[in-house]
Amino acid sequence: MFSAIMMMGGLGLVVGVGLAVASKVFYVYVDPMISAVEGALPGANCGGCGYPGCSANAEAIVAGKSAPSSCVAGGSELAGQIAAILGVVVEAKEPDFAKPGCHYGPDVAEMKFDYLGVQDCRAAAVLHGGMKSCAVGCLGLGTCVRACPFSALSMGPAGIPVVDMEKCTGCGTCERVCPKHIINLSSVTRRMLKEYTDTECTTPCQRACPAGINIREYVRLAAEGDFEGAVRVIKERNPFPAVIGRVCPHPCEFECRRNLVDESVAINNVKRFCADLEYRSGKRVVPFKAPATGKRMAVAGGGIEGLTCAFYLARLGHSPVVLEATGRMGGLLRSAIPAERLSQDVLDWEIQGILDMGVEARLNTALGKDVTVANLLAEGHEAVYIASGGWDGRLGRKAGPAPEAPFLPGVLLLLDAIRLKDVDKALPKGATVFVGGGKTAVRAAMGVPGATVLLRTAKGEAGVDAELLAAATAQGVKIIFSAAVTKLHGAGETLEAAEYVSLATGGTATLPAQNAVFASGRCPALIVTRKAQEGAEANAAQAAGSVAWTARPPYKKPADGERTGLLAPVDPVTDWSAAVEAIGSGRRGASSVHVMLSGQEPELPANVLTPTMYVQNVFDLEEVKPLPREIMPLAGPETPGRRAPEREQGYDLETCRKEAARCLQCGLICYLHTAAEKPALSMASNA
């Protein structure tokens, strides 16, 4: 009996030890936050969040891959509960929806394949990418339709998916199963922020437009007589449609495919008519605004770039204020364009439309003189965007023995520095960094104690001869080659450091700098944000008005995305070559600010579309009937209702629709066949 008890006890001890060891070996840690979030979710496992069940969504929420409001079965109270678990706050969010990006279905392709295997887009894409005529076109097998958990998709008559907006929840399931990226989550905000990639169906005119306007769509709406819809599409990427309709050099028209047959569509004239119709009606087409974020921004400069940046910041839900040094906004549009090309009334109308979006204007307020970056950050502005303007901005600056107060603490233009008799005495005491400028900067740095010259080029390519280099080095000037400044750091009214990257190695370093001298004719576009400070440090800095800040440039346009840092060769040193380019810059500035405030670094997509990138195209058109271009009528000397008659009168309604109807409604390689004996839709083979 005793031996049996001992045997059972020993067996129990062995099993207990084994279980203890197993619990350590096979232990699976469960994050208590994931458990708490999963417990808050309803457990419906409907897939509306885009993940296979509530457990997967809970993991994604904690990992930051899914939003606290991602559960379509729960409401705002559930989102708030989950946010409280995470220690964050839920802001109002613009809803996403699925949007196909293909215009012509595979049934009209000239080169077709019959798929005899599994009828699934993903399987078909394995075979040579599923190539038909178009490398990025829809395969039309309906995988996204079958995957949608809410029956919000169907295959339309053209053989491409159609979205039922009332049923679509924006879960993203269709986006994940599409192998060609034809259908994606979209929203007005996403379309404002996006840069086009090489996997999208873009048109030649759209790719040539510096503002990236969806030209195909607004011309289509104009041809159908939906002019309000056309203006709405234009304003997604251009807040100055009536102005640009008058002064744009229209590079889009040089790339129009109609040039292969007769003459390009008068894209800019169509834009002007649509915008003028809004102007003459006195009733504005009010663009969509995202839910308010409560975040305040300041934009220094009331020219076209600064106003555009403010417009898009307002549309993204922020509260921007524009600081203009003069008594009127408009910049070069106001001062350099004659009335016969651009009526001041039209300019005033469009500027007022920007202000009506919730943009505040402060006139006669110069950054660096009447208000400083430190003041603005201390007042509660989350960011300051510096759009100082081109040569017109310099005309308003004092040309005395010393430069005016800089836009940014410690920043001076080399143009001002070289006209000073004694650079060292004009600069505040401390280390000085010269950014760019070649041998001119090296000469200016000689005699300045603690001077460093950062040049983007290699030593043998910098244009600094050995004699000058030796003389500068003997005077203590430090010269760093193949270096690009990426950030400036400061506190209050003092610049403290310049951060740069080695273009040779990619490594970063920081130099102490109380002064930074830029070798350009204008202060480069910069975004200034607060540095993260906590507790007593933040309170003390706020009270002293010495908020720590960082200044960095917005991301560059796609064509120049590989160029790093301030004053890259592609950056403007005087002004943008056209107003429409400044509009593109202002939108990118607003996008950069928006992304920075979410804690991310603004950057271009890896496969961003550039002008030099090879994309499918056509070089001859088949079965397109030649149609003459509608000529823009000139205005008489006494056109009624105009203070200063403009040279061009503009189209009338019939002429506008007739000209817009000339558009071939292109896709990547698709276009309309207009000859009667051929089908209306066609996809041309790759040339």
Mean pLDDT of 431-455: 89
- pLDDT, tens only, 474-514: 998 999 999 999 999 999 999 999 999 998 888 999 999 99
pLDDT (0 to 100) of residue 589: 94
State the pLDDT at residue 258: 95
Rg (Cα) of the chain, in Å, rounded? Answer: 30
Protein fold of 97-186: Alpha-Beta Plaits (3.30.70)
Question: CB-hemisphere CA count at 13 Å for 648?
Answer: 18
pLDDT score recorded for residue 6: 67
Count of CA atoms in the C-beta half-sphere (13 A) of 274: 33
Domain boundaries along the sequence of the chain = 2-86, 97-186, 204-286+616-683
Indicate whether 99 pLDDT > 80: yes
Mean of the pLDDT values across residues 404-433? Answer: 76
The domain at 204-286+616-683 falls in which architecture? Orthogonal Bundle (1.10)
Answer whether residue 130 shows pLDDT above 60. Answer: no
Q: Place 240 in a pLDDT band, splitting at 50, 70 and 90.
A: very high
pLDDT tier, 678 (very low <50, low <70, confident <90, very high otherwise): very low
Q: Which amino acid type is present at position 11?
A: L
How many Å apart are CA 558 and CA 602, to the nearest integer?
A: 13
Q: Report residue 159's pLDDT band, with 50, 70 and 90 as the boundaries.
A: confident
Top mean-pLDDT range of 112-116, 598-602, 657-661: 657-661
Secondary structure E strands in 341-493: 360-362, 381-386, 411-413, 432-435, 451-454, 478-480, 483-491
pLDDT digits (tens, 9 = 90+) for 267-324: 999 999 999 999 999 999 998 888 899 999 999 999 999 999 999 999 999 999 999 9
Looking at every residue in the chain, the average pLDDT score rounds to 83
pLDDT of residue 101: 86
Q: Which of 586, 603, 93 is nearest to 320 (CA)?
A: 586
Q: Of all residues in the chain, what percent carry a pLDDT higher than 90? A: 41
pLDDT of residue 140: 86
Q: Regarding predicted confidence, which is higher, 224 or 634? A: 224
Confidence bin at 15 (pLDDT 50/70/90)? low
pLDDT higher for 21 or 59?
Answer: 59
- What is the per-residue pLDDT for 20? 64
User: What does the pLDDT read at residue 480?
Assistant: 92
CA distance 106 to 98: 20
DSSP 3-state of 654: helix
Tokens (6 digits) for 401: 């023995």
Domains 97-186 and 204-286+616-683 share a fold: no
Cα first-last separation, the chain? 95
What does the alpha-carbon distance between residue 358 and residue 318 come to, in Å, rounded to a whole number?
9
Q: What integer is the mean pLDDT of 446-462?
A: 85
State both tokens at 631: 């000529």
Mean pLDDT of 604-612: 87
Predicted local confidence at residue 399, as pLDDT: 47
Fold of 2-86: 3-methyladenine DNA Glycosylase II; Chain A, domain 3 (1.10.15)
3-state DSSP of 187-219: CHHHHHHCCCECCCCCCHHHHHCCCCCCHHHHH
67 in Cβ contact with 91 (< 8 Å): no
What is the distance between the alpha carbons of residues 47 and 239, in angstroms, rounded to a whole number?
Answer: 39
Helix, strand or coil, per DSSP, at residue 680: coil
pLDDT tens digits, 196-237: 998 889 999 999 999 999 999 999 999 999 999 999 999 999
Quick one: pLDDT at residue 687? 30
Report residue 72's pLDDT band, with 50, 70 and 90 as the boundaries.
low
Lowest-pLDDT choice from 127-141, 291-305, 409-423, 581-595: 127-141
The Cα–Cα gap between 155 and 174 comes to 13
